Amino acid sequence: MPFLLARHNPRACLCSVLRKQNEQTRIQKVESKKCPCPPKIQNNMPLVPELRCSTIPLYNGLQIPILGLGTSHDGGYSHDAIVYALTECGVRHIDTAKRYGCEGDLGKAIKESGLDRSQLWLTNKLWPGDYGYRAAREACLDSCTQMGVEYFDLYLMHWPEAINQGGSNREVRAETWRALEELYKEGVCRSIGVSNFLINHLEQLKEDCSVMPHVNQVEYHPYQQPTTLMEYCAEKGIVFEGYSPLAKGQILSDPAVHQIALKYRRTPAQICIRWSIQNGVVTIPKSTKKKRVQENFQVFDFQLEETDMVALRSMHDGRRVSWDPTNVK
């Protein structure tokens, strides 16, 4: 796996220029050009490897690493796997949520890694029980405290439905979003977004608010490809981020995926993750096993041929492994 010794500086690097020039085919082009940044060792930075991972530009200029590590509740968190990911695999992007109940543990793992906060991309999510202007603000600041950080790189409304608040879903979403807009302007959240939002939810938010979401995080794998929503997001400048890229493990035994894995001498998980990032989708597989974390991040040294990309694309059958926001007004 190719490693850099020090943090890649996108602002000072020609990569960012290349990315802007190649908006349409940005992933393939960036990957096919070697980063011209010379490896550097800076005095105040720990000597841990950093994965050479492509990034996707948000409309405010931030660059989100295209591949990150997921965390979750119900046994979905492993301290050792997180520390291993950060210190041995060069992972710099972690996705979490208050709902997953691991903010404090994650904060400890980050500290143990020895990495500087500025070297990481941390996404957190606001749970619907904390929706409403005041509750949202307090919940975000509390999450920062729990994790021992001063800001999040990305902060998402987890789900479009309001629970336990007065007012319609639309009203509560707008009021909550106003709090996120403020946190964004104050720098507590470097970017803000939503999760599990459909086009109607985004259209309402567009009418009600002033800052459009930077990201929409939605279920995405070969069985579940919301292409109309993806096209809408692309048109509005919202980065599409896909969760459950392995369909919670369900797709890993699919014969069609195995066939492609055999061809490339890769694992089914690597094929699904590579397919997702090769489609330009920010991807966050979760594993609590060190070996699998390592495997899931070794996807930048091969490319799927167009015929295999199409074969995987043709597997869409609409099935979901997570929740379905279709009926949320």
Ligand X SMILES: NC(=O)c1ccc[n+]([C@@H]2O[C@H](COP(=O)([O-])OP(=O)(O)OC[C@H]3O[C@@H](n4cnc5c(N)ncnc54)[C@H](OP(=O)(O)O)[C@@H]3O)[C@@H](O)[C@H]2O)c1
Catalytic residues: 100
Stretch that binds ligand X, among 7-15, 38-46, 247-255, 306-314 (CB under 6 A): 247-255
User: If you ran DSSP here, which 8-state letter would residue 93 be given?
Assistant: E
294 binds ligand X per the rule CB under 6 A: no
Q: Does 278 contact ligand X by CB under 6 A? A: no
Amino acid at 28: Q
Long-range pairs, 6-10, Cβ under 8 A, ≥24: 6/39, 6/40, 6/41, 6/42, 6/45, 6/50, 7/42, 7/45, 7/50, 7/118, 7/119, 8/35, 8/37, 8/50, 8/52, 9/37, 10/55, 10/63
At residue 200, the 3 state secondary structure works out as helix
Does residue 213 touch ligand X according to CB under 6 A? no
Residue from 83, 246, 277, 299 in contact with ligand X (CB under 6 A): 246
Q: Does 247 bind ligand X (CB under 6 A)?
A: yes
Q: What are phi and psi of 249, to 5 degrees?
A: 90, -15
217 sits near ligand X (criterion: CB under 6 A): yes
Q: Is 249 in the site for ligand X (CB under 6 A)?
A: yes
Tokens 């567009």 sit on residue? 206
- Provide CB contacts within 8 A for 215, sequence distance 6+: 58, 64, 154, 156, 191, 193, 194, 238, 239, 240, 241, 282
One of 90, 226, 245, 280 touching ligand X (CB under 6 A): 245
Q: Shortest approach of ligand X to residue 181 CB, angstroms?
A: 20
The nearer residue to ligand X, 61 or 249, going by C-beta atoms, is 249
158 assigned ligand-binding residue: yes
For 275, the token pair is: 């397919």
Q: Among residues 175 and 295, whose Cβ is nearest to ligand X?
A: 295
Q: Smaller CB distance to ligand X: residue 143 or 267?
A: 267
- Do 76 and 288 contact (CB within 8 A), yes or no? yes
The answer to whether 103 contacts ligand X (rule: CB under 6 A) is: no
Interaction residues for ligand X, span 19-38 (CB under 6 A): none
Binding footprint of ligand X on the chain (CB under 6 A): 70-72, 76, 95, 158, 195-196, 217, 243-249, 252, 267, 269, 284-289, 292, 295-296, 322
Cite the annotated binding site for substrate by residue number: 158
